[in-house]
Amino acid sequence: MFPEEVKKRILKLRQEIEQHNFNYYKLSQPTISDFEFDGLMSDLIALENKFPEFSDENSPSQRVGNDISREFEQVSHLYPMLSLSNSYSETEVSDFVQRVEKLSGEKPDYVCELKLDGTSISLSYRDGELQRAVTRGDGEKGDDVTANVRTIRSIPLKLNGDYPATFEIRGEIVMPFAVFDALNIERVKLGEQLFANPRNAASGTLKLQSSAMVASRKLDAYFYSILGENLQEDGHYELLQKSAGWGFQLSPHAAKCKNSEEIHSYLAEWDKKREQLPFATDGVVIKVNSKRVQEELGYTAKSPRWAIAYKFKAERVSTRLLGVDYQVGRTGAVTPVANLEPVQLGGTVVKRASLHNSDVIEGLDLHTNDLVFVEKGGEIIPKIVGVDKSNRDPLQAAIQFITNCPECGSPLVREEGEAAWYCPNEDGCPPLIKGKIEHFISRKAMDVDGLGSETVDLLFQQGLVCNVADLYELNKDQLVTLDRMGEKSADRIVEGLKNSTNIPFERVLFALGIRYVGETVAKKLAREIKSMDQLQQADFAKLISVEEIGVKIAESIINWFSRKEHLELVERLRKFNLRFEAESNLKEGSTEKLKGLSFVISGTFKNYSRDGLKADIELHGGKNVSSISAKTNYLIAGENIGPSKLEKATTLKIPVITEEQYIQLTD
């Protein structure tokens, strides 16, 4: 067979197989038998193996996977994958609708979509072909699982119709109940541990090193969001319906709703019907339909203001309370944990449940040996929600919250306005010391490869590490003497510590574990207060001038730097060359023409996309803020500007400028 004939045959087979996949997975109308389909696939694989010059990573043959083991590369998301705020009652949903209407000044349509219980995925397409598949990860970075995702037959490798040149589409990878049940039956036969639920099975499968094994698990995928520039459709629902023609399987049973009443009707319907679905679902996602209004509403630090997740009422079971233990976290917060008679709940055996704090124990009026009601909060974390007092033995003692730290014996303290009791022995209580070190080396902080909680515990027990600075004095000879520590593991830790000195300042600041200074706060501090020295010297007024830094955070930072041992720790870390200054964000074309000015943008623009305009503001030293306040310097008004923002700017006498006037500011 001549090369041109081979190429034609391969292309024809690919086209036929993709069409049969579409008929089977999208239309549920197969036109050939499984035997005939397997024959076509075998022919294609044989030809591609014989003529590798015609290979294509998006060929349908890639869906069978291979046994090559690979490490997953970390990839940054172009658009962050934020989490959604949760609601558990119709009242909270109504409050969300009222909040949207108040902030937007409009009565927009909403889209209700079933919240599938699987693992999130983001796919990138260019010129109609799948380029990359990335897990949610921490929202900013995820694992590149493209090879595994190519094996999922309901995910199109090549698109049909009139699709955008480049875009991202996000969805949920799930394991259908039928596949999950069959998988667990097979694991019983093999004497392997069963999967707890379809969500865990789907997530674990997607991270397997063998794509051939992933292919055998028969995962499925449904999509619910499209991101990109120039997507044309303003309606989220309308754009998704359009994408079905490109080859995507959409989140099923989505519906447009005009108001709270229609949303509540949808929630009531699917709370009853969800048991009939072939896959797990734990709620409904409610979104503003108009992308223009979505952009007007913007985001908080962790979630969009234009969407909310409604969680169905959790399954409830009863069991016996055996007693209460107390755990000390890295901040010193003492958390009571209930020990329960084992009980099946939501696909797992529950033996322990969080009681959160002393107020919860008091509110429940818990006694030893009580019959208690347990739910999974948000369908994940077990919690006690009630007590059957009619079955209580009157001789059983009430549960009393402890007064001293269970680890070091220090008297517990409770600050005004706080729900939790704390161990104040910050530098002497073992769980606090180890917790600080574990936080410091964690992935979102210093990301020290090779170190984990077990190794930290071992280092602490051997007296090698008592604070985070001690880590940088470790050497290979010390490490190889530890239990279960070989030379390769020791080398990995030493190299990981060396590499961590390149971690940027904002993550170093987060890693220190200053109370209330989380990831977002650390980034804002690093952006405005450029170095550790400046932060150490910053007074209260300077700190609260930083966006989103309030009284509590400012006081915590000042208190942290007021302690002699913390100043000594900082100086030790400085000697190990950790980055104590923010990197210069100066880019080509950057200026300080807008330094000290804050902008709110609203509407659509001729010369910029919204993200492009925001980037330009930052390029010239300005600051983007999401909502108008008395501190806002300018509102940049495009076409279709949100009426509520224009009204608020007028009320507060904030200058409203056009796109052209903004350009004049930067010329």
* Given 115, 287, 291, 623, the catalytic residue: 115
Angle between helices 260-273 and 90-104 (to 10 degrees): 150
**How do beta strands 166-174 and 110-116 pair?**
unpaired
Give the whole-angstrom CA distance, residue 339 versus residue 355: 10
Amino acid at 414: R
Give the whole-angstrom CA distance, residue 386 versus residue 489: 48
* N- to C-terminal Cα separation, the chain: 64
Is there a contact between 526 and 505 (Cβ–Cβ < 8 Å)? yes
Is there a contact between 335 and 327 (Cβ–Cβ < 8 Å)? yes
Is there a contact between 364 and 410 (Cβ–Cβ < 8 Å)? no
Transcribe 307-355 into DSSP letters.
Answer: EEEEEPPPPEEEEEEEEEEEEE-TT-EEEEEEEEEEEEETTEEEEEEE-
Active site residue 115: yes
Give the whole-angstrom CA distance, residue 86 versus residue 507: 28
The helix (run of H) or strand (run of E) holding residue 574 is helix 564-575
Q: Is 232 exposed, middle or buried (0-12, 13-18, 19+ CB in 10 A)?
A: exposed
The helix (run of H) or strand (run of E) holding residue 9 is helix 3-25
Q: Could you tell me where the beta strands, DSSP code E, fall in 329-451?
A: 333-345, 348-354, 371-377, 381-387, 421-422
Render the burial of 623-654: b for 16+ CB within 10 Å, e for the rest: bebeebeeebbbbbbbeebbebbbebbeeeeb
Amino acid at 196: A
The alpha carbon torsion through 187, 190, 192, 194 (nearest 10 deg) reads 20
Number of continuous H segments (helices) and E segments (strands) in the chain? 25, 21
- Start-end of H helices in 105-167: 146-149
Amino acid at 94: S
Dmax over CA atoms of the chain, in Å, equals 91
Q: Left (φ > 0), alpha (ψ -120 to 50) or beta: where does 232 sit?
A: left
**3-class SS of residue 243:** helix
Q: Known catalytic residues?
A: 115
